[in-house]
Structure 1
Amino acid sequence: MPGENARPIIIKKIKKVSGGGHHGGAWKVAYADFVTAMMAFFMLMWLLNATTEKQRKGLADYFSPTVAISRASGGGDGAMGGTSMMADAALVQVGRGGITSSATHGTTLEEAEFRAVEAALLGKGGDSLLDEEQLRHVTVRLSDEGLVIEFFDLPDRPLFEDNRPSPLLRGLLASVAPEVANRRNALAIDAHTAAEPVVTREPRAWSRSAARADAMRLILPEIGVADRRIARLTGHADRRPAAANPLSPRNNRVELTLLRGGR
């Protein structure tokens, strides 16, 4: 018959497999991104644990945008970074938005003087008035009231012995004396203590903090600070802890504040 010698017709159908199928590679890209992100996270955690507070502040300042807040800074990106060749102590420094006279109670000149004291104590512009061991007991910060110089205990390194200034505290005050004694600002002294591990019939934190504040007042004339400059003396007991653990030695501290405007 005529159709018996005809060749059979074979139709081939090719099935295309999309990239998202069982053997696709899209998930590998997502997984690689996830692993990279986790590695970056663990590196960040390790760096935070391996650096000091001062180093972390330096890293934060490096990655923060800077805004010139003084005419002494040109905002350039050259070797000087736009800053003047004059000493930092005589200038308002370049900061992250900065602190201006409209934002605080002080004047621009007063802000510059506070920054100069901070730089001298912490060694931001070169050598510090405090040695490496002393710097572990000191923080300096700017507040609405003025420049706060805080001295605090470390484990087995107390500032007071039976409410009397220890040699450590005397050494700290002697080191900051050149910057504190030469200023005209009035001073405020605030003393804080750690909480007691047991409840006593008469809470001793109030009397202890008041005694330490007064002991601080009595020692200031020895470093050249006139008693008439002291405008306020306050014992806060354990009401304002600096550390989360109320029993931490870090809560034993005294603050010496250079008040704004001589108030």
Structure 2
Amino acid sequence: MSRRSRKKEEATLGGWKGAFADFCMSMMTLFMVMWIVTSADMEKREGLSLYFSDPGVFDSVSSRHMFDSISQGKVVNTTNGGNSVPDRPDPIHFDARGGDPFELELLEMARLHDNIKVTPIPGGLLIELMETDKNQMFRRGEYLLTPFFEDLLLELGPRLLMSGYEMAIIGHTDSTPYSGKGYFDNWSLSFARANSVREIMDFTGFPNRRIRQVTGMADTRPKDAVNRNAARNRRVELVLVDPSRVKEVNPMYGGAYESGRMARSLDAAHNSAARNQI
């Protein structure tokens, strides 16, 4: 006559309790996730979606010494094999009320960074990259960007590329007289700084043919006219404009967006110099 072990029978009968507890825990977790998702507002959902869908440029590129190699003539290729970006996507029409996703993304970047200011203008956007007491944009008397601003532009560049807009880059300095060697004054320094930004835009894939002008304004347009040596006077402006609305923006920047104006001016100067040689 066989006898069943009472302990074995109790263990067998009690096994369902562990499985049921696991099931209850899984259901509780599912309901918690559903509750969090349904209670989050649209802005938080978009933020979560962006966080998990955009790995960011810093996963593949570090800019700390990148432009040192460019200045030495080395070429760095960051494009992935089969990926391609249209040279000029359809322009995104900005809404001053902030309804456009591209504009909302730039405004969110400006909210997170004290060094960025985004202002809607007729036909586009004005993006100001400014120094603060915390983050220096350029070392004194130099034109190369600090690593912080290099990384900032590397993050910004691909977004501007997809906007379909043309760009003017305008450099500004404070009123401190330039005392270094190699550049005569703040005019040439402000231009060199604007051109440094252009080089980074070029590195991110933004085509040079979509950059209408690179300009240096020295200290003639300060943000802080009271303290003309203030940090925020040392800045670079990126003016984004819909090509179809160039005439609206042209008077604001002294005709910088007039098609062919710069080329005609250079040709006239070249011809005048040639005549003087005769």
- Partner of residue 228 from structure 2, selected from 246, 250, 262: 246
Deviation at residue 139 of structure 1 after TM alignment: 0.3
Deviation at residue 145 of structure 1 after TM alignment: 5.6
Q: Residue 151 of structure 1 contacts residue 254 of structure 1 at CA under 8 Å; is this kept in 2?
A: yes
Which secondary structure state, in structure 2, belongs to the residue aligned with residue 257 of structure 1?
strand
Deviation at residue 259 of structure 1 after TM alignment: 1.1
Amino acid at match of 1:163: Y
Q: Which has the higher contact order (CA 8 A, sep 6+)?
A: 2
Amino acid at match of 1:141: T
**CA pair 224-238 structure 1, distance change in 2 beyond 3 A:** same
What corresponds to 1:118 in structure 2? 103
Task: Give the distance between the partners of 2:178 and 2:201, measured in 1 at CA.
Answer: 33
Q: Deviations over 1:185-240 (max 9, x none)?
A: 1111011111116899x961101101111111111111121111100111110000
Amino acid at match of 2:242: R
Amino acid at match of 1:204: D
What corresponds to 1:204 in structure 2? 185
Which secondary structure state, in structure 2, belongs to the residue aligned with residue 242 of structure 1?
coil
What corresponds to 2:216 in structure 1? 235
Task: Give the distance between the partners of 1:193 and 1:236, measured in 2 at CA.
Answer: 8
Which secondary structure state, in structure 2, belongs to the residue aligned with residue 164 of structure 1?
coil
What corresponds to 1:63 in structure 2? none
**CA pair 204-121 structure 1, distance change in 2 beyond 3 A:** same
What corresponds to 1:154 in structure 2? 132
Amino acid at match of 2:150: R
Task: Give the distance between the partners of 1:198 and 1:234, measured in 2 at CA.
Answer: 18
Q: Residue 209 of structure 1 contacts residue 235 of structure 1 at CA under 8 Å; is this kept in 2?
A: yes
Deviation at residue 251 of structure 1 after TM alignment: 0.1
Deviation at residue 260 of structure 1 after TM alignment: 2.5
Which secondary structure state, in structure 2, belongs to the residue aligned with residue 160 of structure 1?
coil
Deviation at residue 136 of structure 1 after TM alignment: 0.8
Task: Give the distance between the partners of 1:156 and 1:205, measured in 2 at CA.
Answer: 23
Gaps of 5+ in 2: 1-45, 47-90, 247-278
TM-score (norm 2): 0.48
Gaps of 5+ in 1: 1-86, 88-107
Is the helix fraction higher in 1 or 2? 2
Moved over 4 A (4+): 197-200
What corresponds to 1:260 in structure 2? 242
Give the % identical residues: 30
Amino acid at match of 2:207: A
What corresponds to 2:170 in structure 1? 190
Task: Give the distance between the partners of 1:236 and 1:195, measured in 2 at CA.
Answer: 11
Task: Give the distance between the partners of 1:144 and 1:236, measured in 2 at CA.
Answer: 22
CA RMSD in angstroms, aligned pairs only: 3.1
Amino acid at match of 1:151: L
Amino acid at match of 1:173: L
Q: Residue 197 of structure 1 contacts residue 247 of structure 1 at CA under 8 Å; is this kept in 2?
A: no
> Which structure has the larger Rg?
1
**CA pair 119-195 structure 1, distance change in 2 beyond 3 A:** same
Task: Give the distance between the partners of 2:143 and 2:178, measured in 1 at CA.
Answer: 19
Deviation at residue 156 of structure 1 after TM alignment: 5.0
Q: Residue 126 of structure 2 contacts residue 240 of structure 2 at CA under 8 Å; is this kept in 1?
A: yes
Worse-superposed segment, 172-181 or 236-245: 172-181
What corresponds to 1:43 in structure 2? none
Amino acid at match of 2:218: A
